[in-house]
Amino acid sequence: MPPSPSYACTPAQELAAAHRALACLHALTLHFLDSEAEVSAVVAQVPPMVREALSHPQALAVAVRLDGQTWTAGDMSEDALHIAPLVVQGVRRGSLRLGGEERWVLEEDRRLLDQVALQLSSLIAKKEAQTARRKLEAQVRRADRLAKVGQLAAGLGHELNEPLANILGFAQLAAATPGVPESVRRDLARIEAAAMQCREIIKKLLVFGRQMPLQRQRVDLADVIGQARDLVAASAERHGVLLEVTVDGAPVVQADAGQLVQAVVNLAVNAIHAMPTGGVLRLAAYAEAGNAVVAVEDSGMGMSPEVLRQIFHPFFTTKGPDGGTGLGLAVVHGIVSAHGGALDVQSTPNEGSRFEIVLPLWEDSASEESA
């Protein structure tokens, strides 16, 4: 049954309502412009602002629904008396609702809701555009910074390769000399092992700097996920981490299989280390919007925004001086970039992290997906 029409306003009531509406719209605009928070956090403060601009705020209620979330000011237990849609960039994403007793509603209250809904839709679009632009600018800055660091890392790797080869070669020659005392032979073995470790670090630097040639071929991501699972299964079991693997469809890419496996293993090892008391490690592969996605998700400690900004920098680590070289994620970034892909990460302290490697689908696979 439709609600009965609101009673008419006197000229004084119309003037007061117009003043409240202007004040509300002005405050709403300033609220969006001044806040650096996400859209949902800003919208959560809207209902009480709109409610205060109504003719009888204590007898009425306001609710905002946006993308499946609802924020309310007042008692919305009854059916809505008026609903104004929130249409953002041509897409209806929610509504602004008026609740309470019909007898307290002025026609100006309904008009106010319609005006606020239009303004709110516009502000949400602008806010999301600003957020997207800031994220894009941050990605560009990070990519530029990492490219420069990658060039430096690759240069260092090439410069260190020759002297390191000399150290390794002479250590091996000395160890092969007849009559070398056993104690000296053990020391030479340590030198050789240290040189080999340095060679692995240089190899990682070259991968990060995109100096390692790719052996591209048709690669099924189900195989990549399976190999990575087998390589980290023992470590996961030792740390009390449950492994979950899912593959949707048959995502296929053109890539260097060995490097992709290395990237997924690096992410999985980091995830296991982020769950010192156990947890769940999820490895997934699927096709989405013409791309292939490999996701590595954990239920571990998560990362702060400060750590997130630095995780792909070479030699950055939170594990302490004996916990690793800090090259694992830098290598992952180098591998993904060399493949023309994207690497996305989402993390919340004490809730876990999710890394996504996004690569173009193999053309035959992409046509099968769209068929």
> Which pLDDT does position 353 carry in this prediction?
92
> Which pLDDT does position 320 carry in this prediction?
53
Q: Look at residue 3 and tell me if it is in a domain.
A: no
Q: Name the pLDDT band for 199 (thresholds 50, 70, 90).
A: confident
Q: Is the pLDDT at 212 greater than 60, yes or no?
A: no
Single out the residue of 291, 290, 274 nearest to residue 354, CA to CA: 274
Q: Look at residue 241 and tell me if it is in a domain.
A: yes
> Which pLDDT does position 53 carry in this prediction?
83
For 309-365, the pLDDT digits (tens) are 777 776 666 665 445 556 668 778 888 888 888 888 899 888 999 999 999 888 764
Q: Look at residue 5 and tell me if it is in a domain.
A: no
Residues 131 and 160 in one domain: no
Residues 237 and 365 in one domain: yes
Summarize the confidence of residues 114-124 as an average pLDDT.
Answer: 87
Q: Look at residue 4 and tell me if it is in a domain.
A: no
State the Cα–Cα distance between residues 236 and 281, nearest whole angstrom. 8
Summarize the confidence of residues 87-105 as an average pLDDT.
Answer: 87
For 249-264, the pLDDT digits (tens) are 778 999 888 888 888 9
Residue that wins the pLDDT comparison between 184 and 142:
184
Residues 156 and 196 in one domain: yes
> If you average pLDDT over every residue of the chain, what do you get?
80
CATH code where residue 120 lies: 3.30.450.40
Residues 160 and 262 in one domain: no
State the Cα–Cα distance between residues 114 and 103, nearest whole angstrom. 19
> Which pLDDT does position 145 carry in this prediction?
62
Q: Name the pLDDT band for 150 (thresholds 50, 70, 90).
A: low
For 218-252, the pLDDT digits (tens) are 999 999 999 889 888 988 999 999 999 999 877 89
Residue that wins the pLDDT comparison between 146 and 284:
284
Residues 224 and 189 in one domain: no
Q: Look at residue 176 and tell me if it is in a domain.
A: yes
> Which pLDDT does position 298 carry in this prediction?
94
For 29-75, the pLDDT digits (tens) are 887 777 767 778 888 888 888 888 888 888 888 898 988 889 988 88
Contacts of residue 217, defined as CB under 8 A and 6 or more positions apart, other chains included, come to: 254, 255, 256, 257
Residues 231 and 92 in one domain: no
Q: Name the pLDDT band for 146 (thresholds 50, 70, 90).
A: low
Residues 200 and 86 in one domain: no
Summarize the confidence of residues 22-31 as an average pLDDT.
Answer: 80
Residues 158 and 122 in one domain: no
Q: Is the pLDDT at 180 greater than 60, yes or no?
A: yes
CATH code where residue 227 lies: 3.30.565.10
Q: pTM, whole model, 2 decimals? A: 0.49
Q: Look at residue 164 and tell me if it is in a domain.
A: yes
Q: Which of 53-57, 156-160, 280-284, 334-338 has the lowest mean pLDDT?
A: 156-160
Q: Name the pLDDT band for 119 (thresholds 50, 70, 90).
A: confident
Residues 225 and 129 in one domain: no
Residues 178 and 223 in one domain: no
Q: Is the pLDDT at 138 greater than 60, yes or no?
A: yes
> Which pLDDT does position 115 carry in this prediction?
87
Phi-psi region of 327 (alpha: psi -120 to 50; beta: other; left: phi over 0): alpha
Residues 40 and 131 in one domain: yes
State the Cα–Cα distance between residues 136 and 72, nearest whole angstrom. 33
Pinpoint the alpha helices (H) of the chain: 11-34, 39-43, 46-52, 107-176, 182-208, 221-238, 257-273, 305-308, 328-338, 363-370
What is the total count of domains within the chain?
3
> Which pLDDT does position 144 carry in this prediction?
65
Residues 249 and 360 in one domain: yes
Q: Domain range for residue 183?
A: 142-208
Q: Is the pLDDT at 1 greater than 60, yes or no?
A: no
Q: Look at residue 1 and tell me if it is in a domain.
A: no
Q: Look at residue 307 and tell me if it is in a domain.
A: yes
Domain's final residue, options 136, 157, 178: 136
Q: Chain-centre distance of CA 201, in angstroms?
A: 28
Domain's final residue, options 136, 167, 191: 136
Summarize the confidence of residues 157-185 as an average pLDDT.
Answer: 81
Domain's final residue, options 208, 226, 252: 208
Cα within 13 Å of Cα(22), Cβ side:
6
